[in-house]
Chain A
Amino acid sequence: MTRDITVTINGEQHTVAVEPRLLLVHLIREKLNLTGTHIGCDTSSCGACTVLINGKSAKSCTILAVQADGASITTIEGVGTPEALHPLQEGFRECHGLHCGFCTPGMIMRAMELLEKNPNPTEEEIRWGIAGNLCRCTGYNNIVKAIQYAAAKLRGEETPSTEPEFV
Chain B
Amino acid sequence: MITCKTSREIGGMGHPIKRKEDIRFIQGKGRYVDDIKLPGMLHMDIVRSPYAYARIKHIDASEALKIPGVVAVVTGKDLEKYNLHWMPTLMSDTQMVLPTDTVMYQAQEVAAVIATDRYTARDAKEAVRVEYEPMKPVVDPYKALEPDAPVLRTDKEGKTDNHIWHWEVGDREKTEAVFRSADVVVKEHMHIPRIHVVSIETCGCVADYDKVNNHLTMYMTTQAPHAIRTVIALVAGHLGLTEEKIRVISPDIGGGFGGKVPVYPGYVIAIAVSFLTGKPVKWIEDRSENLQADSFARDYHITAEMAATREGKILATRFKVLADHGYTDAAANPSKFPTGLFSIGTGSYDYDTAFMEADAVYTNKPPGGVAYRCSFRVTEAVHAIERLTDSMARALGMDPAEFRMKNFIKKEDFPWKSPTGWTYDSGDYHAGLKKAMEVIGYDDLRREQAEKRKKGELMGIGISTFTEIVGAGPSRDFDILGIKMFDSCEIRVHPTGKAIARFGTKSQGQGHETTYAQIIAEELGIPAEHIQVEEGDTDTAPYGLGTYASRSTPTAGAAAAVAARKLRDKARKIAAYLLEVSEEDLEWEPGKFYVKGAPEKAKTIQDIVFAAYTNHPPGMEAGFEATHYYDPPNLTFPSGAYICVVDIDKETFEIKIRRFVAIDDCGNIINPMVVQGQVHGGLTQGLAPAMYEELIYDEDGNILNGTLMDYLVPTAVESPRWETGHTITPSPHHPIGAKGVGESPTVGAPPAIANAIVDALSVYGITHLDIPITPYKIYEALKAKGVIED
Residues of A that sit less than 8 Å from B by CB? 19, 21-22, 26, 29-30, 33-43, 45-46, 48, 75-77, 79-80, 82, 85, 89, 92-94, 96, 98-105, 108, 123, 126-128, 130-144, 163-167
Contact = CB atoms under 8 A, between A and B. Distances in A.
A99 B511 contact: yes
Interface of B: 16, 18-19, 21-32, 34-35, 37, 118-119, 197-202, 252-255, 257, 286-288, 439, 508-511, 672-685, 707-709, 713, 715-717, 719, 721-722, 724-726
A98 B200 contact: no
Contacts of A108: 26
> Most chain-B Cβ atoms within 10 A of its Cβ — which of A38, A45, A99?
A99
B35 A35 contact: yes
Nearest to B288: A42
B253 A100 contact: yes
B711 to A, nearest CB: 9
B21 A101 contact: yes
Contacts of B200: 38, 40, 46, 48, 100, 102-103, 134-137
A21 B707 CA distance: 22
Contact of B254 (A38, A43, A165): A38
15 contacts: A41-B286, A43-B707, A45-B708, A96-B677, A98-B22, A99-B511, A99-B677, A100-B199, A100-B508, A101-B26, A134-B708, A136-B713, A139-B681, A140-B680, A166-B672
Contacts of B677: 96, 99, 138-139, 142, 164
B675 A42 contact: no
> Most chain-B Cβ atoms within 10 A of its Cβ — which of A34, A142, A143?
A142
B680 A46 contact: no
A164 B13 CA distance: 15
A98 B679 CA distance: 13
B680 A80 contact: no
Contacts of A127: 715-717, 719
A143 to B, nearest CB: 7
Contacts of B715: 127, 130-134, 140
A19 B709 CA distance: 27
Given A163-B16, A166-B676, A26 B118 contact: yes
Contacts of B681: 99, 136-139
Nearest to B20: A93
Contact of B680 (A22, A34, A76, A139): A139
Nearest to B199: A136
A38 B37 CA distance: 15
Sorted nearest first, the 5 A-B pairs with minimum C-beta distance are: A36-B28, A101-B25, A102-B254, A100-B509, A139-B680
Contacts of A133: 715-716
Contacts of A89: 26-27
Nearest to A39: B34
A122 to B, nearest CB: 12
A163 B677 CA distance: 12
Contacts of B34: 29, 35, 38-39
Contact of A38 (B32, B678, B679, B726): B32
Contacts of A82: 23, 27
Given A77-B27, A131-B715, A166-B672, A33 B18 contact: no
A65 B31 CA distance: 24
B29 A36 contact: yes
B683 A139 contact: yes
Contact of A92 (B22, B254, B255): B22
Contacts of B31: 35
Contacts of B717: 127-128, 131
Contact of A96 (B23, B257, B674): B674
Given A126-B716, A138-B681, A140-B716, A75 B28 contact: yes
A140 B681 CA distance: 7
A50 to B, nearest CB: 12
Contacts of B684: 138-140
B509 A134 contact: no
B511 A45 contact: no
B202 A102 contact: no
Given A46-B200, A93-B18, A142-B680, A99 B510 contact: yes
A144 B287 contact: no
> Most chain-B Cβ atoms within 10 A of its Cβ — which of A79, A123, A135?
A135
Nearest to A94: B18
Nearest to B708: A45
Nearest to B673: A164
Nearest to B661: A167
Nearest to B35: A35
B288 A43 contact: yes
A101 B254 CA distance: 7
A43 B28 contact: no
B707 A139 contact: no
B695 to A, nearest CB: 16
Contacts of A34: 28
B713 A166 contact: no
B22 A101 contact: yes
Given A41-B286, A127-B717, A136-B681, 17 more contacts: A26-B118, A36-B30, A38-B200, A48-B200, A79-B28, A89-B26, A93-B19, A93-B23, A101-B21, A101-B22, A101-B509, A128-B717, A139-B680, A139-B684, A164-B673, A165-B676, A166-B673
B727 to A, nearest CB: 10
Contact of B709 (A29, A45, A132, A140): A45
B267 to A, nearest CB: 19
A94 B18 CA distance: 6
B709 A36 contact: no
Contact of A104 (B26, B682, B707, B724): B26
Given A102-B30, A139-B681, A166-B726, A21 B719 contact: no
B744 to A, nearest CB: 13
